[in-house]
Amino acid sequence: MKQHKWHKEIKAWADGERIEQKWVNSSLWEDVMLPSWNSVEREYRIKPQPKEPQYLYVYIGENNGYIFSRFHPSKYDNPECIGKIKLEVEE
């Protein structure tokens, strides 16, 4: 037997996950509480989970107080971390 077009989304919805819908000719996804799974005018997806934020860690070096950065907290040496910058990526 052939599976329903939205079988993954239907199962996720039944398991309590959030579902989004959009009109076929649109690019705007929106939350939906009661999906109409047989609509040919809409598409559905499991609502994407937010990605872990990424940070750029800023340090003051030991010699001459120069400033440098890394994408992860320093594990190997002990420079003074003066802050972190949250990075945002446009999709």
Contact at 8 Å (CB) between 87 and 71?
no
* pLDDT, tens digit, 9 for 90 and up, residues 8-49: 999 999 999 999 999 999 999 999 999 999 888 999 999 988
* pLDDT, tens digit, 9 for 90 and up, residues 45-83: 999 887 777 787 777 776 666 666 666 665 555 667 778
Structure tokens belonging to residue 82 = 């003066």
Taking Cα atoms as reference points, which of 15, 38, 42 lies closest to residue 28? 42
